Every structure is written in C-alpha cells, then in structure tokens.
Structure 1
C-alpha cells in the first residue's frame, strides 16, 4: 500500500474510533446512575475497561505480529461496536459491567495494532511523524466525541450509545474496504520468531517512563475540575472549553511539530523537552486564577505531554528487538496501568491538599527525566543490548 495514502487512512480510522469512544464519556455517569450505580460502582465501571486493556493489549499486539494488522484492527473495532450496542440495551447494572469488560478485552486491539501498522510503513526518519499523526487523531477524537455525545443525550441517554455503535460499524466498513494489510506473510513469520515480550535491558526503561507520564496525566485529569472550581471558580462549561483548547494544542503539536523535531533533533531530545515542558505546566497550574490562565497553563502541560508520547512510541519501535505489535502492545499495557492508578492516587493527594497532585506531577516529571538520562547512558554502554 502506498505509504503516503496509509497514514491519512489510519488517522481517519483512529479519529472515528476515538469520536465513538468519546461520545459516551459525558453520558456514562448519568446512564449508570439511572441503573442504580453508586459513585464507587461508577468508578469500578470506568476502571474495569482500563484493566481489560492492561491485560489484553500485549496479547493483541502479539496476535497482530502473527496474523497481520488489518484483521486485528477489525476485531478491535467490532468489539467497540458490540460493547456500545450492549450498553444501549442494558437494563441492569451487571449488564453495563459485562459490556465494559467485552469492550475492554476486544478494543484493546486497536491502539497497539495501529501503532504497529505505523511502525511497519514508516522509515526510522519518519517514525516520529507517523506516531504523532496517530496521537493527533486520538486527541481530536476526544475533543469532538464528548461534544457530540452531549448533543445526542438530550432526548434519551441511550441514544449516544447507539450513535457510537453505528459510527463504529461505519469505521469497520472503512477499514474492510479501504485499509490494506501492512505486513507480508514473510514479515509476519519473521516477527513471530522474535522473542522478548518482557522488556529487558535499557529499552525496558522507556516503558516505565511512559507509565509515569500517563500516571501523572491521569491524576491531573481526575482532579483538575475540582482544583479549578476551588481556585478560580470555574464551572463545567468553562472547563469543557479549557480541555478543548488543551486538546487542540496537543493535537497540533503531535500532528505537525513532533515529526519535524524528531527528524531534526531525534526522539531523545524531544522526549526530554516534553518532560521539561510538562513539569513546568504542572508548576504553572498551581498559579491559575481564572479562565485565561487555566487555559494557557493547562495547554502548556498538554503540549509537553504531546511531545513525549509519540516520541516514546517511535523510539521503542526502533530499538526493541521484539515484533512491532508485541512492542506497542506492551506499551499500551503500561499506559493502561497509569490510567488505572493515576486517578485514585490523584484523588487521595487532592483530599490531603489541593495542590499536591500537581506538586507530585512535578516530582514525577523529574523522575521521568532521570529515567530517560539513565536509558541514554545505558544505550551508549558497549555492553548494552536493546531487547
């Protein structure tokens, strides 16, 4: 398949997937509440999805190395569609949990397989650009999805789930008829023979770095609404705009800047710059006093985060000797772990002092920076062997 045509198609696929996923975000709490969910049960409903992604992302990554990217992407999108329709038809709380488990297990195939596809079709020089384009698609999907969900929820809370399901089916047809397979039988045979699912050597450090980045982001997302309300009196509508501005900033950086910067300076420089900018963003958030400062400071953080994630994905697929699917599957698993652990710890820190989640974010940024320096030093060692 022509590489120039493949990236826009993958962008469209991930954008549509994330719009469908985002549609249900503003509706889920109220929908679950209608079926008798307590706040704790709602938290578990959200967590079980990430838990399934944590457990199954490496599996689907390995499967995509074995049978190809396209069929696994189709499995992931089909799983999303099924889970959305099951959610729409749920009449009891256990049915919501069942739908989330099924959706988490099957949709865990999407992100690692799409990232592996990007690694298949891009040169080392353009890898950062490709990963950035996928990151931009995810960010834009999360911006538009919740807005669409809010519009469709006004009449009946089940309607957004049907909309998300239909959108997933449209995306599935798009993949079926437009997307071509990125690996040949010979390439799949080669990737299957590669070993090293568990990260070894310096390359393992990048997985933990990614975990800490996602962990601190999840803690911020879980607490910022309360922090902004207390510090600056911001309401839900204003917060929606702020997160939209942050998302657009991150998407612009990932879609346009990351590729140019990684090509010119290398992924290592961009990762370190992103960590520093994120750390500064965490510090500035402590100083917000209104809508404008909140939007600017949160966007600074978002830009830093947007520099890190595609650059880590790019560097990992270059340096790991495991198959691309195995590598990106394990990376997605570490990201899921960060999304599981970040919100409860962020909430706990916020309950102790409202600024603690962001002070801890600065400390985690310092830790991430140190981890990268250790990785870089060990990669320079003559004895170092990437795995």
Structure 2
C-alpha cells in the first residue's frame, strides 16, 4: 500500500491572524504594566505623602476603570472596536508619560485616573474584537491564549523593571508609554478594517442590551463568578497575602513575592490546557471546577501554618483561577455572538471584576483585623463557592455541531 502523505493542519484549527495580533499586543501591554506596578507606590512617596495616600494612587486607576466602564461600552458601540482600542491605548500611553513628569501628588493622582479610563476602553474593545473574530469552536482556546499573554507579560514586567531600577523612578513610566505605542502601532497597521468585515459592518450591527444579556442565566452566572474571581485572585491575593506571610508565618517579602509568583505559575499551567478543554467539553464544567478549586484553596490559605503549605495552596488557587477564566470569557462571547455589538454587556462584565478587586481588600482587610486571617480568607473562599452555585442551574452556551445541537440558552 502506498504511504499516505501527512495531512496539513486544517485552517479551521488555526487561530485567526487578527487574534494573534491582539495577543501580541496584550503581551507588550502587560510587560509595560508590570514594569510600572512595583515602582508606582514608591514614586508617590517622593511627594511627601504617607502609605495610605501612596496606595490611593493604585486604587485611583482601578476606580476610574470601574466608573468609566459604562461610558466605555457606549463609545465602543458608537465608533467600533478597533478605534476604541487605539484611542484607549493612546490615552494610557499619554497618561503614563505625563505621570513621569508629575510635579505634585494631585497631578500624579489625576494622571493615573486618566490611565484607568483608557485602560477600560482598550480592555472592553479587545474583548469585543475577540467575540467578533474568534470562531465559536475555539473561543475558549483564544480566551486562554489572551489571558496567558497578559499573565506572562505581567510576570516578566517586574523582572525587566528591576533591571531598569538604576535609571530612576521616572524611567519605567516612559518605557511603559513606549511599549503602549508599540502595541497600538501593531494593532493599527496589522488589524485593518477589511480584516473585520467578516463580522459584519459595525455601523449596522444590532446592539445587545444589558437587559437582553441579563435574561440569559449563563451571563448572570459569569458576572457573579467574575466578581468573585476579582475579589480573590486580583484583590485579596495582592493586598492580604503579603500581610498573611508576615503576621502568621513570620516570613518576609521574599516569601510573599514567591507566593504570588507560584500563583501566577499555577494560573499559567492551567491556561495551557483549559481553553481547549472548554471548547471540547463545554464552558460550564471548567468554570465550576475552577471555582470550587480556587474557593477551597483560598479558604485553606488563611489557615496555613507553614511556608510549604502556604506555597502549595497558592499554586492550587492559581490553577483554579486559570481553569475558570477561559470558559467564563467564552460564555460571555457565546451570549453576545459575532453578529451583535455588545459594548454595554462587556462593560458590565468587566465592572464585576473591577468591583470585586476594589471591594475585596476592603472587606477582607476589615475581617482580618477584627477576627483574623482565617475568617478573611474563609469568607473569600466561600464567595467562590457561592458563585459556583450560580452556575449549577445554567445550561452550557457552547454551540455543538450536528443535528443534536444544544439550543441557545434562555
């Protein structure tokens, strides 16, 4: 028998070139943000303010994202995803450059707040582009790739920032601005208007309202789990883990930093496979698994009494977060679909994570002071389990080919 030639990888299995452009831009943006994040509080203290005021500069960015998200969704519907992305990244670049030359604490606060406005614009528009361009059969995989790009860039950023420490506190902000200009140039020149034509003319695409999306149980569940994940993975993880390491374990900043790195490693490890799994087995099973794993690990973290368990539970929690994210984001994409504009829908989804990230440290911090770290992490872990309950009655949104395809959930 003649030997059959090896079949090439079919085009339907390849990630569209337009999405690889967005992933590359996300990586560049994340590296820049990682360069700035460790320096910002130190830079704020050069204006003679205390720890609380220096921390407020960090919160100003997140608060601006939260408050401007609804308006950002309306901007996206009016001018389209690509222009909103470009404008948003340019706003962050200009605000970062201005931050480097701030002459007072209040100027610094305003410039960072403006950066938050630009940040939510490009975040929502990037999600909108992925919804529009990613084929339904690989939405989970694309969400995993996009999250991985941000994660890896965020891990490498502080390393690069450390190498630049000798150039002064202003240098990271200027480098971040330059990185953002690189990212916006990549998207502007590589993602052309004709590349978006497959999704339909943005001027005539109907707009999905928040009320329509909210009527779908899967969207309500995604908002709930995104809030819980913002609370735990992005909120108390950064705010309370270092304090837990110091107060309970007697460990220094090195162990706290290692715990955050281990969490990121677990997240990255899970993201390498869970995106594909959510495209194969459905969104709901992966989201439920991730919520339960993250919730149990987070709750147990507050009871840690030695460094080994502390690091092991951080790894497991990171894997849980990486397991739920691709399916959760793919669910929102499934609900909107490629033929509708979903600016306000994406904005509310993003607001849920930002709200959890802001509220989590405040509530959990108060609990830690009043009743101890066990209660703070226990309540945070329980919040993840409550979010899992919201997914139990939900039907999966993944489209299944064939005559027995599951109907669109109501």
Same fold at TM > 0.5? yes
2:130 matches 1:118: yes
Distance 1:220 1:172 in 2: 30
Contact 2:237–2:260 at 8 Å: present in 1 too? no
Structure 2 residue corresponding to 1:329, chosen from 315, 323, 347: 347
Cα shift at 1:135: 0.9
Corresponding residue for residue 86 of structure 1: 98
Deviates more, 1:266-275 or 1:277-286: 277-286
Q: Show the counterpart of 1:25.
A: 37
CA–CA distance in 2 between the matches of 1:75 and 1:149?
A: 26
Q: CA 1:104 to 1:267, structure 2 compared with 1: closer, same or farther past 3 Å? A: same
DSSP-derived class of the 2:304 partner? coil
Match of 2:239 among 204, 222, 238: 222
d(CA) in 2 for partners of 1:132, 1:190: 30
CA distance in 1, matches of 2:52, 2:326: 33
Alignment correspondent of 1:275: 291
Q: For the Cα contact (< 8 Å) 1:278–1:300, is it kept in 2?
A: yes
**What is the rounded CA distance, in whole Å, between the counterparts of 1:329 and 1:341 in structure 2?**
18
Q: Write out per-residue CA displacement over residues 274-323 of structure 1, whole angstroms, 9 at most, x where no aligned residue.
A: 01110221133235344433222101101111121221111112124762
On the 8 A contact 1:25/1:149 being kept in 2, the answer is no
Deviations 1:200-235 (A, max 9, x none): 322334212311221122123210111112332322
Q: CA deviation at 1:27?
A: 0.8
Distance 1:187 1:152 in 2: 45
- Alignment partners' CA distance in 1, 2:345 and 2:141: 18
Cα distance in 1 for residues equivalent to 2:181 and 2:396: 47
Superposed CA RMSD: 2.5
The match for 2:261 among 244, 248, 251 is: 244
- Distance of 2:242 and 2:97 partners within structure 1: 30
Q: Secondary structure at the match of 2:373?
A: coil
Rg (Cα) greater in structure = 2
Q: CA deviation at 1:241?
A: 2.8
Q: Find the aligned partners of 2:383 and 2:86 in 1 and give their Cα distance.
A: 36
- Which residue in 2 is equivalent to 1:293? 309
Structure 1 residue 385, shift from structure 2 partner: 6.8
Correspondent of 1:309 among 305, 325, 344: 325
- Alignment map for 1:340-355 (pairs within 5 Å): 340-352=358-370, 353-355=372-374
Whether the aligned pair in 2 keeps the contact of 1:139 and 1:248 (CA below 8 Å) is: no
CA distance in 2, matches of 1:264, 1:86: 46
Q: What is the aligned partner in structure 1 of residue 79 from structure 2?
A: 67
C-alpha separation in 1, matches of 2:255 and 2:90: 35
Provide runs of 4+ in structure 1 moved above 4 Å: none
Is 1:132 matched up with 2:144? yes
Secondary structure at the aligned position of 2:248 is classed as helix
Quote the offset at 1:53 in angstroms: 0.9
2:46: which partner in 1?
A: 34
- Does the C-alpha gap of structure 1 residues 337 and 268 become closer, same or farther in structure 2, counting only changes over 3 Å? same
Asked if the contact 1:317/1:327 (under 8 Å) is kept, the reply is no
Deviation at 1:377, TM superposition (A): 10
Q: TM-score, structure 2 length as denominator?
A: 0.86
How far apart are the structure 2 equivalents of 1:112 and 1:385? 24
Tell me: CA distance 1:370–1:97, structure 2 relative to 1, closer, same or farther (3 Å). Answer: same
Counting matched residue pairs gives: 380
Kindly provide the CA deviation profile for residues 324-344 of structure 1, in whole angstroms up to 9, marking residues without a partner as x: 433322211211111111111
- 1:152-163 correspondence to structure 2 within 5 Å: 152-163=164-175
Larger relative contact order (C-alpha < 8 A, sep ≥ 6)? 1
